[in-house]
C-alpha cells in the first residue's frame, strides 16, 4: 500500500515531518475569545494543526450518562458538563475562518452524524474520530463515506475491536487514508498503560500509517511513539491549567506546548535515515579509527599475525578488518620495515 496522503499542504507519511496536532478540545470553555487565543498559541508553537470538538449533546449523551472516573471531582452531572461546552455551529464557523486567517489547519472531532456533516460542509481537510467512537460504526462508516483522511483513536478498545473497525474502513477502501492512533483514554494516563509497542504492531498487522494521542503528563511518550513509527502526534493544551473544565489540568500550558513541538522537531532529526554511512562530520574524525601497523621486519619476511598491530593512525590507513588481515598474512615485504610502520599495500608483494 502507498502509505502517503495529503492534508491541506501537509504530506502525511513515514518519511515526512511529523504532523503535530495541538488539541484545544473543549479547553476554550465555549468562549470564542479564548478559542482565538488558543489558535494564536498553537500557531506560535509551530504545530501543524489545532483540533477542536464538534457535537450536539442531545445526540451524544443520555441525561443520566455516567461520568468518566477522571471527571469525578467535578460536581456537575456529566450531561450538564458536556452541555456547557457545546459550541454552536456559527461560532465553529468563526473558529474555522480564524484558523484560515492565521494559516493553521483546523481540525475537529465530530461526535454525531450531524456534526460530521456540518464539518464536511464547512470544508475540513480531514476528520478525527475519538476513542469513544472507535467502536461506533454508525459514525465511522458515515465519516468514511466522505472520503477524507481519518485520524482515529483506539483508546477503550481491544484487538478484536481494532480488527472490526479496520475491516469496516477496508470495506470502504479507506485504509490508505487512515492514521491509526494508539491511545490510552485516561487523563492523565499512567506510564505503564501507554503500551507504545502497539504502534509498530498496528503498522505490521494492518499496513496503515500510525499515530499517537498523548494523554501523559509530559512529552516522553510522544517522543517514544515517534521513534516507533508514529507519523502524527496530538496532545491537549490550555491557556491556563487553572481554568475550569475536565481537561485543563492534564493539558500542556503554552510554554510546554512550544517545548513539546520543538522536541518533536529535534526527534525528527535524530531519527534521520535508515541508511548507514559515514556522516559529513565523522569524515573529519576518521583518524579515531584503528589502522594496521607493522612491527620491525626484514625484506622478504613473510608477514604473520605477530607482525601486525592495530593503533590509531591517520584516516588513510588500512582497517584491521578480518578480510584485510586474511589478504595480508603470508605476503612478503618488499623492504626492511621499522617499528610502527603504517601498513600499505605498496609494502608487500
- DSSP bridge partners of 310: 292
Reference 326, options 308, 342, 339, 314; nearest CA is 308
Residues 26 and 140 occupy one common structural domain: yes
Could you tell me which residue, 239 or 245, shows the higher pLDDT? Answer: 239
Indicate whether 206 belongs to any domain. yes
Indicate whether 309 belongs to any domain. yes
d(CA 250, CA 235): 10
Question: What is the average pLDDT value for the chain, to the nearest integer?
Answer: 94
User: What's the grid cell of residue 89?
Assistant: 455551529
Q: Over the Cα atoms of the chain, what is R_g?
A: 29
Per-residue confidence (pLDDT) for residue 312, from 0 to 100:
81
d(CA 244, CA 303): 81
| Residue where one domain finishes, among candidates 271, 294, 312 | 271
Indicate whether 24 belongs to any domain. yes
Q: What pLDDT digit, counting tens, does each position of 265-292 carry?
A: 999 999 999 999 999 999 999 989 999 9
With beta carbons less than 8 A apart as the criterion, state whether 74 and 81 touch: yes
Residues 171 and 33 occupy one common structural domain: yes
Residues 218 and 305 occupy one common structural domain: no
Per-residue confidence (pLDDT) for residue 246, from 0 to 100:
85
With beta carbons less than 8 A apart as the criterion, state whether 202 and 210 touch: yes
Residues 255 and 292 occupy one common structural domain: no
What is the β-pairing status of strands 308-312 and 290-294? antiparallel
- pTM of the complete model: 0.91
Indicate whether 38 belongs to any domain. yes
Q: What pLDDT digit, counting tens, does each position of 129-169 carry?
A: 999 999 999 999 999 999 999 999 999 999 999 999 999 99
Listing DSSP states for 243-261 in one string gives SSSSSSTTSBPHHHHHHHH
CA dihedral for 216, 221, 225, 226, sign (positive or negative)? positive
Around Cβ 136, how many Cβ atoms within 10 Å? 16
User: What's the grid cell of residue 15?
Assistant: 518519511
Indicate whether 8 belongs to any domain. no
User: What's the grid cell of residue 20?
Assistant: 503535530
Q: Could you tell me if residue 37 is left (phi over 0), alpha (psi between -120 and 50 degrees) or otherwise beta?
A: alpha
With beta carbons less than 8 A apart as the criterion, state whether 81 and 71 touch: yes
Region 103-117 average pLDDT = 98
Provide the 3-class DSSP secondary structure of residue 291.
Answer: strand
Domains contained in the chain, number: 2
Indicate whether 137 belongs to any domain. yes
Q: Is the pLDDT of residue 63 over 90?
A: no
Residues 175 and 301 occupy one common structural domain: no
Could you tell me which residue, 211 or 246, shows the higher pLDDT? Answer: 211
Per-residue confidence (pLDDT) for residue 277, from 0 to 100:
97
Whichever domain contains 321, its CATH number is 3.90.1210.10
Q: What pLDDT digit, counting tens, does each position of 294-306 carry?
A: 999 989 999 999 9
For the purposes of burial, counting CB atoms within 10 Å of the CB of 109, is it exposed (0-12), middle (13-18) or buried (19 or more)? buried
Residue 334 lies in domain: 282-347
| Residue where one domain finishes, among candidates 203, 237, 271 | 271
Residues 189 and 245 occupy one common structural domain: yes
Residues 263 and 328 occupy one common structural domain: no
Residues 231 and 90 occupy one common structural domain: yes
Per-residue confidence (pLDDT) for residue 2, from 0 to 100:
65
Region 315-342 average pLDDT = 93
Residues 195 and 326 occupy one common structural domain: no
Indicate whether 240 belongs to any domain. yes
Residue 108's pLDDT band, with cuts at 50, 70 and 90, is very high
Residues 179 and 308 occupy one common structural domain: no
With beta carbons less than 8 A apart as the criterion, state whether 211 and 234 touch: yes
Q: Is the pLDDT of residue 66 over 90?
A: no
| Residue where one domain finishes, among candidates 215, 239, 271 | 271
Share of the chain above pLDDT 90, in %: 85
Q: What pLDDT digit, counting tens, does each position of 2-54 carry?
A: 689 999 999 999 989 999 999 999 999 999 999 999 999 999 999 999 999 99
d(CA 116, CA 259): 32
Reference 70, options 248, 242, 256; nearest CA is 248
What is the β-pairing status of strands 341-342 and 290-294? antiparallel
Per-residue confidence (pLDDT) for residue 78, from 0 to 100:
81
Residue 1's pLDDT band, with cuts at 50, 70 and 90, is low
d(CA 238, CA 28): 8
Residues 56 and 199 occupy one common structural domain: yes
Per-residue confidence (pLDDT) for residue 135, from 0 to 100:
98
Element spanning 222, H or E: helix 220-227
Residues 205 and 98 occupy one common structural domain: yes
Q: What pLDDT digit, counting tens, does each position of 162-221 carry?
A: 999 999 999 999 999 999 999 999 999 999 999 999 999 999 999 999 999 999 999 999
Amino acid at each position: 500500500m502507498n502509505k502517503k496522503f495529503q492534508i491541506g499542504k501537509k504530506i502525511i507519511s513515514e518519511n515526512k515531518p511529523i504532523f503535530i496536532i495541538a488539541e484545544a478540545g473543549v479547553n476554550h470553555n465555549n468562549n470564542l475569545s479564548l478559542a482565538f487565543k488558543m489558535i494564536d498559541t498553537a500557531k506560535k508553537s509551530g504545530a501543524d494543526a489545532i483540533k477542536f470538538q464538534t457535537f450536539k449533546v442531545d445526540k451524544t449523551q443520555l441525561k443520566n450518562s455516567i461520568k468518566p472516573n477522571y471527571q469525578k471531582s467535578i460536581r456537575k452531572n456529566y450531561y450538564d458538563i458536556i452541555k456547557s461546552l457545546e459550541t454552536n455551529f456559527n461560532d465553529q464557523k468563526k473558529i474555522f475562518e480564524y484558523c484560515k486567517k492565521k494559516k493553521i489547519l483546523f481540525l475537529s472531532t465530530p461526535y454525531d452524524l450531524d456534526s460530521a456533516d456540518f464539518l464536511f460542509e464547512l470544508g475540513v481537510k480531514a476528520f478525527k474520530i475519538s476513542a469513544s467512537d472507535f467502536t461506533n460504526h454508525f459514525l465511522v462508516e458515515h465519516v468514511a463515506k466522505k472520503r477524507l483522511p481519518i485520524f482515529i483513536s483506539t483508546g477503550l478498545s481491544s484487538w478484536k475491536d481494532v480488527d472490526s473497525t479496520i475491516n469496516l474502513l477496508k470495506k470502504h477502501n479507506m485504509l490508505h487514508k487512515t492514521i491509526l492512533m494508539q491511545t490510552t483514554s485516561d487523563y492523565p494516563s499512567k506510564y505503564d498503560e501507554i503500551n507504545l509497542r502497539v504502534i509498530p504492531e498496528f503498522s505490521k498487522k494492518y499496513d496503515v500509517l500510525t499515530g499517537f494521542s498523548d494523554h501523559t503528563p509530559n512529552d516522553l511518550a510522544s517522543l517514544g511513539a515517534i521513534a516507533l513509527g508514529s507519523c502524527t502526534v496530538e496532545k491537549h493544551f490550555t491557556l491556563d491549567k487553572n481554568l475550569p473544565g475536565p481537561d485543563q489540568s492534564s493539558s500542556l500550558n503554552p510554554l510546554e506546548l512550544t517545548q513539546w513541538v520543538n522536541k518533536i522537531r529535534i526527534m525528527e532529526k535524530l531519527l534521520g535515515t535508515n541508511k548507514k554511512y559515514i556522516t559529513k562530520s565523522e569524515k573529519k574524525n576518521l583518524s579515531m579509527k584503528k589502522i594496521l601497523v607493522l612491527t620491525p621486519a626484514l625484506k622478504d619476511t613473510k608477514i604473520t599475525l605477530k607482525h601486525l598491530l592495530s593503533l590509531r593512525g591517520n584516516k588513510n590507513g588500512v582497517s584491521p578488518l578480518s578480510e584485510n588481515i586474511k589478504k595480508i598474512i603470508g605476503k612478503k615485504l618488499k623492504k626492511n620495515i621499522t617499528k610502527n610502520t603504517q601498513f600499505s599495500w605498496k609494502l608487500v608483494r
